[in-house]
Every structure is written in structure tokens, then in C-alpha cells.
Amino acid sequence: MTAWRPGCRRKTVPDPHTEQPGETPALIEPNAKNHYEVTRKDLPLHCPMDGMSLWNSHPRVYLAIEETGKAKCPYCGAEYTLK
């Protein structure tokens, strides 16, 4: 493995926030969806949920949804509704 040296070019990842209008976004951000419907099978509820990309996500937080049927993640703002 070689060390990075000044003058070397690094590979860059496209930023979906800086793309021009009409272009297709190159990446899909994790936790980008704002509303999720969950069932009792998903309990105990936590965000991010199983199957979500975790490498650049926030820490797992457990959400109390049983009493009201609704919960909101304090990190990413995702809203959950219990079916």
C-alpha cells in the first residue's frame, strides 16, 4: 500500500446535492426516506432498521412506538407508523 503524496489524485465520489437539474443522482443516501410503515414484527423498533446501509449512518437508537403508534428518529428525522 502506498501512502498518499501531494500532487496525487484521489478518486472522488459524486455529491448528489451538487448535481445539475435534470441529471440522475449517482448515489442514494442512507436514511433518505422520510416515512416508514412498520408492523409488530419489526418491534423493538430501531433506526436505522435492519437492511439499511449502516456505513455512513447514525448510531442505532431504539424508538418507543407501541403506545402511540408513531415515532420519530431524533437523529435523521425519519417518521415511523405502526400498522
User: 9-65: per-residue pLDDT in tens?
Assistant: 544 445 555 555 665 544 445 556 789 999 999 999 999 888 777 777 889 999 999
Residue 81 confidence class, pLDDT cut points 50, 70, 90: very high
**H or E stretch including 82?**
strand 79-82
Quick check: pTM over 0.75? no
Question: What are the φ/ψ torsions at residue 82 (nearest 5 degrees)?
Answer: -85, 125
pLDDT at 75 over 70: yes
Decide which of 56 and 76 is more confident. Answer: 76
Instruction: Please list, in sequence order, all residues whose beta carbon lies within 8 angstroms of the beta carbon of residue 64, skipping any fewer than 6 positions away.
Output: 45, 71
**How confident is the model at residue 34, as a pLDDT?**
86
DSSP-based three-state secondary structure for 35: strand
58 Rama class: left (phi>0) / alpha (psi -120 to 50) / beta: beta
Alpha carbon distance 76, 30 (integer Å): 10
